Amino acid sequence: MEKVIVFDTTLRDGEQSPGASLTVEEKLEIARQLERLKVDVIETGFPASSPGDFEAVRRIAREVKAPVITALARALPSDIEKAGEALREAKHKRIHTFIATSPIHMEHKLRMSPRQVLSSAVEAVQFAKQFTPEVEFSPEDASRSDLAFLCEVIQAVIERGATVVNIPDTVGYSTPDDFGTLIGKICEKVPHLDRITLSIHCHNDLGMATANSIAGIKAGARQVECTINGIGERAGNASLEEIVMALVTRRDLLPFFTNIDTSEIYRTSRLVSRLTGIPVQPNKAIVGENAFRHEAGIHQDGVLKESATYEIMTPDSIGLKGGELVLGKHSGRHAFKERMKKLGFRLDAHQLEAAFKSFKELTDKKREVFDEDLIFMGEEQTFRIPQVYLLEYIHTVTGNQILPTATVRIKKKDKVFQEAACGDGPIDAAYRAIDRVTRMKLNLLDYSLHSVTGGKDALGEVMVKVEAKGRMVTGRGVSTDIIEAGAKAYLNAINRLIYREGKRSS
């Protein structure tokens, strides 16, 4: 079996998803989890794009040691210099530089001739070698490029020291047959490919990113670029969990392996969803909430008799402990600590105490506490935004014949504020009351609600997206009371805005 290198670009291409925006600390938390997942390469950002991206790459390079830490740079000396500077403290580092090679990009975007593009490509690789021993080059929009010119560029960058050459299907134009054939022809026509690692990067515009990636691997690529939950530009990227589990499940047809610890997949998916504010669709392969649910009677009967009848992989294989009842009202700290440890949370004493307090509060509200409930508590403690505003009390009055009204009591440091407001519904009224306390002008862009577990007393999770002064953030709140969860989510978003503004000013 041959190894496939897993290159994760969640923090770079994934963050380019519409609506996704991560702070430096959030990027660092995801990078640490990707390290636990055992990805080989983490593309951490685009240092030249903003001071925030530069700082995120620098922090991750300093603190995350096992994977290769990669930074993106256009084929420009200033970009490459920034990337090299951001990566300076990395134990294992790589600069990833790129320039488009398709006729439509060269003519309309770059306004450069093929000879100029070729010259820029080789100069960029040569310059990047001054900063990192590993240099990756991508001919952007490779799948719509002229094959002869594409091969000429690849050969030239290899001769100038590129150690990885990545073939992107930038706009998701390929089909599996197309893409496999392209990789096969590159392997045939370009000399000295044995000197480098051939990589692939597929987008999902036609819903074929995973299939194209598998076709590329079968045709000779040995690095695959992907994101957690398949997030990314437009329709997203090839999904890490789909590619990895396809290789694990179909070893009869795909004699390849990766270093990925599949038991960390579910937790990584949850973390990325929570911090980016991008929910995972219920029917998403591998990590969607319906991925291991069986509704039809004939399916349920088969699974009860033998799980392999309708399950080609197990929930345990991705780290999903399905609905296990673990703790109750009389459980103590020791049992709680051990269970959190088993679920993969490494909490310090302060975090553990805060999580245990939340657990005790929850047991007063619901009789049965499941692993899913505990996962939310662990996630809450893993990364906490400073709570400038804290919800102490909320009371709503609503009905189809009365005007919905909300009263909130909110604490800010040592001061307590109380306001009331009316609205189109209880959530709208609560948000108007919160606006009066905070005096912030916010635009609510999105509101979503789903239950964490089953039953009438299930935890409800609310995720909101808000915008203020051109900056957009997500907020998240959890409670057995969905109105309270919504208020918490809105305040969480406000606290994030304040936190980011403070970071930007400092």
**172 belongs to a structural domain:** yes
Tell me what pLDDT residue 236 has: 96
Residue 228 CA to residue 270 CA, distance in Å, equals 10
| Domain residue limits at 366 | 321-382
Do 362 and 255 share a structural domain? no
pLDDT above 80 (res 309)? no
Give the number of other Cβ atoms within 10 Å of residue 146's Cβ: 12
Residue 297 lies in a domain: no
> Given its phi and psi angles, is residue 347 left (phi above 0), alpha (psi -120 to 50 degrees) or beta?
beta
The pLDDT value given to residue 304: 58
Residue 425: DSSP 8-state: S
C-alpha distances in angstroms, 208 versus 108, 238, 243? Answer: 26, 8, 12
Residues 372 and 401 in one domain: no
Q: What is the CATH number of the domain that holds 210?
A: 3.20.20.70
Per-residue pLDDT, 500: 78
Please state the rounded mean pLDDT for residues 465-494.
90
Inter-residue contact 294 to 303 (CB < 8 Å)? yes
Q: Is residue 179 part of a domain?
A: yes
Which residues partner with 474 through β-bridges?
A: 465
Positive or negative, the CA dihedral 285, 246, 185, 115 is: positive
Structure tokens at 132: 């990192």
3-state secondary structure 258-296: CCCCHHHHHHHHHHHHHHHCCCCCCCCCCCCCCCCCCCC
Q: What DSSP designation does 319 have?
A: T
pLDDT 10s digits, 57-104:
999 999 999 999 999 999 999 999 999 999 999 999 999 999 999 999
Confidence check: pLDDT of 294 > 60: no
pLDDT beyond 80 at 366: no
pLDDT tens sequence across 167-222 = 999 999 999 999 999 999 999 999 999 999 999 999 999 999 999 999 999 999 99
Terminal alpha carbon distance of the chain: 51
Give CA separation, 418 vs 38, 69, 430, 435, in Å. Answer: 48, 48, 12, 11
Mean pLDDT of 10-22: 87
User: Looking at per-residue confidence, does 275 or 404 come out higher?
Assistant: 404
- The residue assigned the tokens 């090839």 is 238
Q: CB-based contacts of 36: which residues, under 8 Å, 6+ apart?
A: 261, 264, 268, 344
> What does the alpha-carbon distance between residue 55 and residue 500 come to, in Å, rounded to a whole number?
13
- Residues 106, 233, single domain; the answer is yes
Do 445 and 465 lie in one domain? The reply is yes
Residue 50 has pLDDT above 60, yes or no: yes
Specify the DSSP class assigned to residue 131. Answer: T
Q: How far apart are CA 53 and CA 73, in angstroms?
A: 12
- What pLDDT is attached to residue 307? 67
pLDDT at 310 over 80: no
Inform me whether the pLDDT recorded for 498 exceeds 50.
yes
Inter-CA distances, 381 with 344, 374, 376, Å? 13, 11, 9
159 CB-side CA count, 13 A: 13
12's tokens: 């770079």
Residue 322: the pLDDT is 55
pLDDT of 160 higher than 70? yes
Q: What is the pLDDT of residue 503?
A: 62
- Asked if 480 and 427 touch (Cβ cutoff 8 Å), the reply is no
Residue 390, burial from CB neighbour count under 10 angstroms (0-12, 13-18, 19+): middle
Report angle CA 477, 481, 485 to the nearest 5 degrees.
Answer: 15
375 and 412 both lie in a single domain? no
End position of a domain, from candidates 276, 298, 331: 276
Whole-number Å distance between alpha carbons of 103 and 108: 8
Q: What's residue 299's pLDDT?
A: 47
Overall average pLDDT of the 364-383 stretch: 74
Q: How confident is the model at residue 496 (pLDDT cuts 50, 70, 90)?
A: confident
Of 334, 351, 382, which one is at a domain's C-terminal end?
382
Mean pLDDT score, 348-373: 81
pLDDT at 473 over 90: no
Let me know whether 416 and 328 are in one domain.
Answer: no
In a domain, residue 231? The reply is yes
Is 448 found in the same domain as 373? Answer: no
H-helix or E-strand spanning residue 138: strand 134-140
Mean pLDDT of 443-462: 83
Q: Which of 276, 291, 308 is the last residue of a domain?
A: 276
Instruction: Say if 287 falls within a structural domain.
Output: no
What are the distances in angstroms from CA 193 to CA 11, 166, 218, 298?
Answer: 28, 12, 16, 51
Q: Are residues 100 and 229 in the same domain?
A: yes
pLDDT tens digit sequence for 92-149: 999 999 999 999 999 999 999 999 999 999 999 999 999 999 999 999 999 999 999 9
**Alpha-carbon distance 42 to 82, whole Å?**
17
Mean pLDDT for 277-285 is 90
Mean pLDDT on 299-321: 72
Specify whether the CB–CB gap between 204 and 230 falls below 8 A. yes
pLDDT tens figures, 25-41: 889 999 999 999 999 99
CATH number for the domain spanning 458: value is 3.30.160.270
Asked whether residue 474 carries a pLDDT value surpassing 50, the answer given is yes
Least confidently predicted of 8-22, 226-240, 365-379, 412-426 = 365-379
- Is the pLDDT at 251 greater than 80, yes or no? yes
pLDDT over 90 percentage in the chain: 67
Residues 370, 404 share a domain: no
Q: Which residue has the higher pLDDT, 235 or 368?
A: 235
Residue 334's Cβ-count burial label (10 Å; 0-12, 13-18, 19+) is exposed
- Residue 28 is predicted with a pLDDT of 94
305 in a domain, yes or no? Answer: no
Q: Please tell me the total count of domains within the chain.
A: 3
Beta bridge partners of 168: 201
**Per-residue model confidence (pLDDT) at position 292:** 80
More confident residue, 6 or 496: 6
Contact 199, 223 (CB under 8 A): yes
- pLDDT tens profile 407-428: 999 999 889 999 999 999 999 9
In this structure, the answer to whether residues 105 and 205 fall within a common structural domain is yes
* pLDDT attached to residue 44: 98
> Averaged over 309-325, what is the pLDDT?
75
Task: Looking at mean pLDDT, say which of 84-88, 191-195, 276-280, 462-466 comes out highest.
Answer: 84-88
How far is the C-alpha of 45 from the C-alpha of 214, rounded, in Å?
A: 25
Q: Are residues 165 and 27 in the same domain?
A: yes
SS3 312: coil
**Residue 306 is assigned to a structural domain of this protein:** no
Sign for the pseudo-dihedral over CA of 118, 119, 120, 123: positive
Candidates 73, 9, 18; CA nearest to 233 is 18
pLDDT at 312 over 50: yes
* CA–CA distance, 399 with 389 (Å, rounded to integer): 29
Q: Is residue 303 part of a domain?
A: no
| 426, 362: one domain | no
354 has pLDDT over 90:
no
- Is residue 87 within 8 Å of 131, Cβ to Cβ? yes
Amino acid occupying residue 73: A
